[in-house]
Copies of this chain bind each other. A is one copy, B any other.
Amino acid sequence: MTSETRAGLSEAVFEELLQRARAGAAERERTRELPTELVRALAAAGFGTAHVPAGVGGEGVPLETLFERLVRLARADCNVAHVFRGHLAFVEKQYFEPDAAVREEWWRRVLAGDLVGNAVSEASATSDLSTVLRETPDGLRLDGRKFYTTGSIYADWIDTSASFGDVGVQVLVPTRAPGVRVVDDWKGFGQRLTGSGTTTFTDVPVEREHVRTIDPDDDAQTYMLGFFQLVLLAVVAGIGHAALDDTVDFVRGRRRIFGYAGEALPREHHLVQAEVGALSSAASAARAIVLTAARTLDAALGAHLAGAPGAAQGLREAQLEVYRAQQVVLPLVVDATARLFEVGGASAVDAERGLDRHWRNARTIATHNPALHRRRAIGDFELNGTATRRYLPAG
């Protein structure tokens, strides 16, 4: 049946897309070539809609499957995987949309191929939003500027936040609407192709049905903050695997141990093998932690949707579990991407080979979502039962 074919991402198609992604990843980063086609092909193949329920035509896979694919995609090209962050989150957020018609309409749109990007962060020193939605005689209009708008440059819709009178609202804006300008001015030393640039809204007309009130204390926020974070951790876990892949390639191609003519090939040397073993183990652990957290999120969502008793508490615990995962996944992978150079060989630092890009990419993600304050928040919970604070998701 057509709908089944459309809904599911076949392993063969995905594997082929992964190969395409892997092939040019390092080169694209170096030349700053946006992987627009690849992102579109993945969306078309159903990568971004795997968690849409089967009942509305989606693939309806468990969250673990979605995150397992995300790790694989990031292993092939961590920029491309990162680009889907806002999109996957938008799809996910619909589970908390009370109006079934609205919810299903959005799911239908993404199933039809629409891509959604993210525009939330602002530059101000306060948490007040300077992006403003206002009533005009001609309808709603949006003005403001957002930074780190990951994925927007590839997207059909921009999922943004604004002040609307006294309240905060979520607004969906078509990328092609008049007054929308997305600039790829992202200058980070890593994740260069995530399109995490600036999005400017100048008198942009907004449909009333594309505006929703944000309730920062509701279950949706609790869940989504965990989800947003876990997408990043999945990307980082993928980077860990990519670092392993490149290190293995590098060592296999080497013919001598530094300063030791006539000795064993590097790939046969115990100390080199032990370093590679450490790298392999770090990547594997990062993936295991991410997948376990995905299952925890999934179970919490299921309980919430089923209206189970204790579901709200379950959502909070799931969020906390993702925050705990962050504390271990980030240093594990960041350290591994630095440590891979211990296998030796001066040519490892060749910028064209790009072995440093794994560290730069992992370090960039880790910096946008610093673990420090959440570490304290986890401890505050353990010691005093304090709920973890709400953190805005970022780039």
Interface residues in chain A, defined as those with a beta carbon under 8 Å from any beta carbon in chain B: 121, 125-128, 147-148, 187-190, 244, 248, 251-252, 255-262, 267-282, 284-285, 287-289, 291-293, 321, 323-329, 332, 334-335, 338, 341-346, 348-352, 356, 359-360, 363-364, 366-368, 370-384, 389, 391-392, 394-395
Contact = CB atoms under 8 A, between A and B. Distances in A.
A273 to B, nearest CB: 3
A184 to B, nearest CB: 14
B342 A379 contact: no
A378 B281 contact: yes
A346 B244 CA distance: 27
Choose among A121, A272, A326, A381 the residue with the greatest number of B CB atoms under 10 Å from its CB.
A272
A190 B349 contact: yes
A27 to B, nearest CB: 15
Contacts of A291: 292
A268 B381 CA distance: 11
Contacts of A273: 375-380, 383
Nearest to A356: B189
Contact of A275 (B284, B364, B372, B384): B372
Choose among A127, A277, A350, A382 the residue with the greatest number of B CB atoms under 10 Å from its CB.
A277
Contacts of A341: 363, 366-367, 370
A41 B380 CA distance: 36
A258 B190 contact: no
Contacts of A335: 335, 338
A70 to B, nearest CB: 16
A271 B376 contact: yes
B189 A271 contact: no
Contact of A321 (B284, B327, B343, B364): B284
Contacts of A350: 187-189
Choose among A121, A278, A374, A392 the residue with the greatest number of B CB atoms under 10 Å from its CB.
A278
Given A278-B327, A291-B292, 17 more contacts: A267-B384, A269-B270, A270-B271, A277-B375, A277-B378, A277-B379, A277-B382, A281-B326, A284-B324, A288-B325, A292-B292, A335-B338, A341-B367, A341-B370, A342-B370, A343-B372, A349-B363
Contacts of A275: 372, 379
A272 B274 CA distance: 12
Contacts of A394: 258-259, 346
A370 B360 CA distance: 21
A92 B343 CA distance: 31
B187 A125 contact: no
A384 B268 CA distance: 8
A281 B373 contact: no
A299 B359 CA distance: 33
Contact of A288 (B147, B269, B292): B292
A189 B252 contact: no
Contacts of A268: 384
B262 A127 contact: yes
A363 B356 contact: yes
A60 B309 CA distance: 28
The 6 A-B pairs of least Cβ separation, nearest first, read A273-B379, A127-B261, A281-B327, A276-B379, A277-B379, A277-B378
Choose among A187, A360, A370, A380 the residue with the greatest number of B CB atoms under 10 Å from its CB.
A370
Contact of A368 (B256, B293, B332, B346): B346
A125 B261 contact: yes
A351 B277 contact: no
